[in-house]
Homo-oligomer: A and B are copies of this chain.
Amino acid sequence: MKTREVHLVSRPRGWPEPADFALVERELPAPGDGEVLVRNRFMSVDPYMRGRMNDVKSYVPPFGLNEAMTGGAIGEVVESRSPGLEPGDLVLHDLGWREHAVAPAKRFRAVRPIDGVPPSAYLGVLGMPGLTAYVGLLDIAGLKEGDTVFVSGAAGAVGSLVGQIARLRGAARVIGSAGSDEKVAYLTDRLGFDAVNYRSGPVRRLLAEAAPDGIDVYFDNVGGDHLEAAIEAFNDHGRAAICGAISQYNATEPQATPRNLALVIGKRLTLRGFIVSDHSARFGDFVREVGGWLAEGRIEFDETVFEGLDHAVDAFLAMLRGRNTGKMIVRL
């Protein structure tokens, strides 16, 4: 039986192009002793994957050339040669970018299907992006009741949750930034945020107008001029959780922002970077609290779905350009 997977075939410089990837067909191996064969149903494309395409040491190792990339995926066990897993089990794992995965059973974590929630939620609201939002907002930025919160990439998988968790935890106001009028409408009408379209003017001015009394917390998915605008708008003792810098991932020159970093002194600001994988000990708290809100219908979550492995690269590139609302998912 044949299966297909996506390889990285050249390291992008600047924006990745379709030619940097190849869809490769190969023979599907039979699972060995202790191994499991899984048919992937959904895979995730995430901003951090762009960093793994560079040949630089980072907190995750780079993708190898001419081999299948990896990433979050959810699938169904087809054949198991391990006692812990049965055909039909739903499993979460990191062997995305392929139609089937064959690997030792310990690579797969069985998850329960939840009524009314698609399995792909484990790649978003109940998965790594959800935990990122939760830990960044509560532990890194130290959200307090009454805070005014600014979040960039607010219509994305992480940002849309940041703002919702902030509201449920007592933030006075949430201001989200997104890159189109459609997304701004989604943020205001669907999620109840205040919102700015950062393509409609300088972020500094837009934020100053949206938050005349300043902001207390900034959740940064974007870096660059958004971080600069947040520093400008911060009240004393403001805290930024620095989660991503998607505005810079495809930059070929170092980015010379923020230009106002000296304000951290007079305003007593804290800027703190974090990586979700350091915080897996919080997964239980996260699932209890956010899973509870989800069951009560108090959390909105949306997905932008591309169909088929043939369009996985398109989904990844579209996500980098901000074409998704909510979590970008590929259905396999």
Contact = CB atoms under 8 A, between A and B. Distances in A.
Contacts of A106: none
- One complex includes copies of this chain to the number of 2
A259 B266 contact: no
A244 interface: yes
B278 A273 contact: no
A168 to B, nearest CB: 26
B260 A254 contact: yes
Interface residues of A, number: 33
Contacts of A271: 264, 270-272
Contacts of A272: 264, 268-271
Which among A51, A256, A261 has the highest number of chain B CB atoms within 10 Å?
A261
A46 to B, nearest CB: 14
A101 to B, nearest CB: 27
Nearest to A237: B278
A255 B259 contact: yes
Interface string A238-265: 0000111100100000111111111111
A285 B75 CA distance: 58
Contact of A245 (B243, B262, B275, B278): B262
Contacts of A255: 259, 262
A contact patch SS: loop
Contact of A265 (B254, B262, B264, B275): B275
A200 interface: no
Contacts of A58: 266
Given A223-B261, A261-B223, A266 B256 contact: no
A251 B257 CA distance: 16
Contacts of A261: 223, 227, 245, 257-258, 261
Contacts of A269: 272-273
Contact of A262 (B248, B263, B264, B278): B248
A21 to B, nearest CB: 24
A274 interface: yes
A14 to B, nearest CB: 16
A190 interface: no
Given A258-B261, A259-B255, A271-B271, A266 B223 contact: no
A103 to B, nearest CB: 27
A267 interface: yes
Contacts of A278: 268
A267 B256 contact: no
8 contacts: A51-B266, A223-B262, A242-B265, A245-B265, A256-B259, A263-B273, A266-B275, A268-B273
Interface of A: 51, 58-59, 223, 227, 242-245, 248, 254-275, 278
Given A254-B259, A256-B259, 7 more contacts: A257-B261, A265-B273, A265-B275, A268-B273, A268-B274, A270-B273, A271-B271
